[in-house]
Amino acid sequence: MTRFLATAATALVLGTAAYADNHGDHSGTFSEMTYDQAMHLNASEVIGSRVYATENDVQNTVEADGEKEWDDIGEINEVVLTRDGKVQAVIIGVGGFLGVGEKDVSLDMSQLKIVTEQNNTDDWFFVVNASVAQVKDAPAYEHNMDEAGMKNAEKADAEIEASNSLDSSDGRPMLSQPDITRDGYANVEADELTAENLTGARVYGAEDEDIGEVGELLLTDDGKMDRAVIDIGGFLGMGEHTIAVSFDEMQIVRSDDGNDVRVYIDSSEEALKAQPEYES
């Protein structure tokens, strides 16, 4: 399901024009607005939305699962505005089905159609009237940024890649490291602890729910702690399930008196159930 910002973009354009016409009168700068789910969509929902292409005529509505007849060409990575506040284009990352590496292409906003699913106004799709060949041959969008902008973009790309990366040993999705603060406890690095300190330590979720314990530690060839094997069970309503987690995914805390070591992991019950089981 994808959503669009047509009304939000229009409001942005109108608001900009109002400011230009009334720059001396601040009463015209802001307006009253009530969000209406039947009419409005937030601009923040555009980034990451899928875009479909079809050579057939595009109607305003489509039957349920009708999008399966279209080609999924990629997702919206960016929205480009002119200096006067008008939405000029969307930047789509295309690739995969094309048999080529991903590239960014620019699509004029006027060519993007919003199609809603029949009998379900909550489902919206971005559709462009084009063939796969046209998408493949579209010129690559060039990001003309200064050095600082390029560095920020590269940093953002690196963070996204890291968050989507897979653990090289078992191919499971990486988890993000939590940042929990608990009275009487302080963060501690794994190399400050011994294997005895960590083995058997209880593992908690972000809300202090007890989700299991560290069953064993995996070491590198030179004897350094590499990953922790966590035994999960109980609240999951199933038999014990084990996953191997890197130390980059865990937050380890130790009580001020040094008697208690806890491990925190940022994961939901559903996410834990979906993790591939570690096999020694």
Confidence band for 8, pLDDT divided at 50, 70 and 90: very low
CA distance 262 to 203: 6
Q: Average pLDDT of 263-280? A: 76
CA distance 184 to 197: 18
Mark which of 92, 121, 144 sits at the end of a domain: 144
For the chain, what is the domain count? 2
Partners of 126 in beta bridges: 51, 114
> pLDDT tens across 171-180, in order?
667 788 888 8
Contact 264, 180 (CB under 8 A): yes
Residues 133 and 61 in one domain: yes
Residues 53 and 110 in one domain: yes
Give how far Cα 135 sits from Cα of 138, 142, 144, 272, Å: 5, 16, 22, 38
- Minimal CA–CA distance to 185: which of 163, 202, 160, 168? 202
> pLDDT tens across 85-122, in order?
888 899 998 875 544 557 889 999 889 898 888 887 77
- Minimal CA–CA distance to 243: which of 184, 167, 181, 159? 167
Provide φ and ψ at 258, rounded to 5°: 80, 5
158 within a domain of the structure (yes/no): no
Residues 130 and 200 in one domain: no
Residue 162: strand, helix, or coil:
helix
Q: What is the per-residue pLDDT for 150? A: 60
Confidence band for 200, pLDDT divided at 50, 70 and 90: very high
Partners of 112 in beta bridges: 128
Q: Average pLDDT of 248-263? A: 92
Residues 104 and 206 in one domain: no
Give how far Cα 273 sits from Cα of 243, 269, 277, Å: 10, 6, 9
CA distance 241 to 166: 19
Range of 75's domain?
6-144
Give how far Cα 191 sits from Cα of 5, 75, 188, 227, Å: 48, 41, 8, 12
Residues 113 and 189 in one domain: no
Give how far Cα 152 sits from Cα of 117, 146, 147, Å: 38, 10, 9
pTM for this structure? 0.45
92 within a domain of the structure (yes/no): yes
Q: The tokens of 11 are what?
A: 């409001």
User: Helices in the chain by DSSP H: which ranges?
Assistant: 6-21, 132-137, 147-164, 195-198, 269-274
Q: Answer whether residue 133 shows pLDDT above 50.
A: yes
Dihedral, 20, 21, 23, 28 alpha carbons, nearest 10: -110
228 within a domain of the structure (yes/no): yes
**What CATH number did the domain enclosing 218 receive?**
2.30.30.240
Q: What is the per-residue pLDDT for 188? A: 93
CA distance 39 to 215: 53
CA distance 138 to 143: 15
Contact 153, 91 (CB under 8 A): no
